[in-house]
Amino acid sequence: MSLDHRLTPEHEELRRTVEAFAHDVVAPKIGDLYERHEFPYEIVAEMGRMGLFGLPFPEEYGGMGGDYLALGIALEELARVDSSVAITLEAGVSLGAMPLYLFGTEEQKREWLPRMCSGEILGAFGLTEPGAGSDAGGTRTTAVREGDEWVINGSKCFITNSGTDITGLVTVTAVTGRKADGRPEISSIIVPSGTPGFTVAAPYSKVGWNSSDTRELSFDGVRVPLANLVGQEGRGYAQFLRILDEGRIAISALATGLAQGCVDESVKYAKERHAFGKSIGDNQAIQFKLADMEMRAHMARIGWRDAASRLVSGEPFKKEAAIAKLYSSTVAVDNARDATQIHGGYGFMNEYPVARMWRDSKILEIGEGTSEVQRMLIARELGFAG
């Protein structure tokens, strides 16, 4: 395939539109919301009206008829300004709506996707558990058939978009049986918000992503129809592996945006800040640091766009997605650290965007597959067992 990842005119128009939105709408508001740990409802509503939540979905389900590259472009431009807004979009699309689009029944798609694509409601994906993070095969939540219903018991943690005022559903992974060798059969089941027995805890107190909704969930005798099963019974494990493969591309795009945002803010600051009679940007030490930051962001962009292009064209992309996620998350942390250093004491003040970026960067090496997991995946693709 071609390695030319320059954008088509349509994709470039989208990029410019989201770039303007991020700077004109998100940037002036998000700082105060972030410090108050408030979810950006007005911003999310505007994103819904723009069609961002429907970017990769067909028009028949209320989407924009775009592709995963379009989603990545939007995520990168948003994350250049703020990651809480970007992760709300990423989780709403990749984790909330995508499982239903890829594996749901026609009835499930028509019931839920139009409202998710418009941003009227958000969906969440209940995978991680207190005792089963990267080891998703260690799921303890159970779903037992009783008549024409599933009865769900268990808990989930670190679930994004799960407790907002506009959250409509959580797709939950649960053990629904055992294989011949004793291993659990895991299925995915839709649990609408407000279902009796489904409890959403208070928001976590987090280091970063303070305007993103993240909560612990509990299920105590939760009853939903058997028709809420997503895909085939016992195929939930395989489904979430596919979801995470795609999601890594989206997280990589987000991480690239954060890395580029660090460059943007640091270049501006280096030109404006004067010390010893000249701008600090006149110092070669600062110039070289900025050059390294720009190089990292550029290479991260090539990585996620390559993986997205492979996904869109129907080619294998698992290894490329893991590489992109591993590299871009590392780059985001490195650039956030260097941006803070360039800003000096001001970089430690929350009124400056780089302080927010520094707080937001670390989770990118953990969420949707830790850096260690990415290295495992890459090694497996190279032919090593593990």
Residues classed as catalytic: 368
Query: How far apart are the C-alpha atoms of 308 and 321, rounded to whole Å?
Result: 8
Q: Measured between alpha carbons, how far is residue 142 from residues 99, 169, 177, 369 in Å?
A: 19, 18, 9, 23
Query: How far apart are the C-alpha atoms of 95 and 336, rounded to whole Å?
Result: 26
Q: Distance from CA of residue 66 to its chain's centroid? A: 18
Q: What value, to the nearest 5°, has the Cα angle with vertex 285 and ends 281 and 291?
A: 75
What is 42-97 written as a DSSP string?
HHHHHHHHHTGGGTTS-GGGT--S--HHHHHHHHHHHHTT-HHHHHHHHIIIIIII
Would you say 153 and 141 are in contact if contact means Cβ atoms under 8 Å apart? yes
Range list of β-strands (E), 184-236: 184-192, 198-200, 214-225, 229-230
Dihedral angle computed from the Cα positions of residues 106, 112, 115 and 117, in that order, rounded to the nearest 10 degrees:
-70
Nearest to 92 by CA among 161, 183, 195: 161
